[in-house]
Amino acid sequence: MIDGKEIEALGAAILTMTAFMIVTACIVAGLALAHKRTKSLIIRADLLHYKSDLWTNIGVIVSLGLIALSGLHFIDGAVSIAIALFIAVGAYKIVQECVLTLMDRAIEEPLLSQICEIVQNAPRILRTRKSAKTYVVEAHLVFDETISLKDAHDTSDYVESAIAALDKNAKWLITVHLDPYDDSKNES
């Protein structure tokens, strides 16, 4: 593009790139299935790597084909820039997800409202957060001191299972603390 050199042996180059593209497409398909099953960030990064290779192969074939048909050699550089932008955007999204994985953050709506609704009858304290890929919920439930331990425990089990059922594919860390009276006024 800059030095003005023209591409030679277009036919052989297109054939070679087609073979590499087929192999890379198979790798991309396998990694996509693995990522769908595991949601692994490492597999997602590897998938971006091989998708970048695949788009590079496709870009080279398209560029070579268009150059062969039109004689316009700037097409190779233009397609390369488009592929570089694809790689940069994909890398940015992965880095962004990595940073979010390292930081705790609030559980987002509507999930937070659903959790609050489950514990609405007796919550004293409700703390929630998302830590990496784990939802963390802490609920303090206040019961009448005359309620039986079994009934309080059954309610606690219900709260835990109902919250976990909101997203069966997620990891949950749910702690329900049972209080016989509201001692929140004594906390500072």
The pLDDT value given to residue 149: 87
Q: Which residues of the chain have pLDDT under 50?
A: none
Residues of the domain holding 137: 105-186
The pLDDT assigned to 71 comes to 84
21 and 62: one domain? yes
Q: How far is CA 98 from CA 44, 91, 127, 134, in A?
A: 11, 10, 24, 14
Plot region of 104 (φ>0 → left; ψ -120 to 50 → alpha; else → beta): beta
Contacts of 146 (CB under 8 A, 6+ apart): none
Residues 112 and 79 in one domain: no
Note whether residue 67 is domain-resident.
yes
pLDDT score at 184: 64
Output the pLDDT for position 161.
92
- Supply the pLDDT for residue 85: 93
**Residue 149 domain-assigned (yes or no):** yes
Domain assignment present for 2: no
Q: Are residues 123 and 134 in the same domain?
A: yes
| End position of a domain, from candidates 71, 102, 133 | 102
The number of helices, as runs of H, and strands, as runs of E, in the chain is 5, 4
Reported as a single tens digit per residue, the pLDDT across 88-108 is 999 998 888 888 777 777 788
Strands 134-142 and 123-131: antiparallel
- Sheet containing 171-179: which strands, arranged edge to edge? 104-105, 123-131, 134-142, 171-179
CA dist 146 and 180 (Å) reads 8
What per-residue confidence (pLDDT) applies to 3? 63
Pick from 75, 102, 129: which residue ends a domain? 102
- Reported as a single tens digit per residue, the pLDDT across 60-96 is 778 878 888 888 888 888 888 999 998 999 999 888 8
Place of tokens 């059954």: 154
Q: What is the pLDDT of residue 50?
A: 94
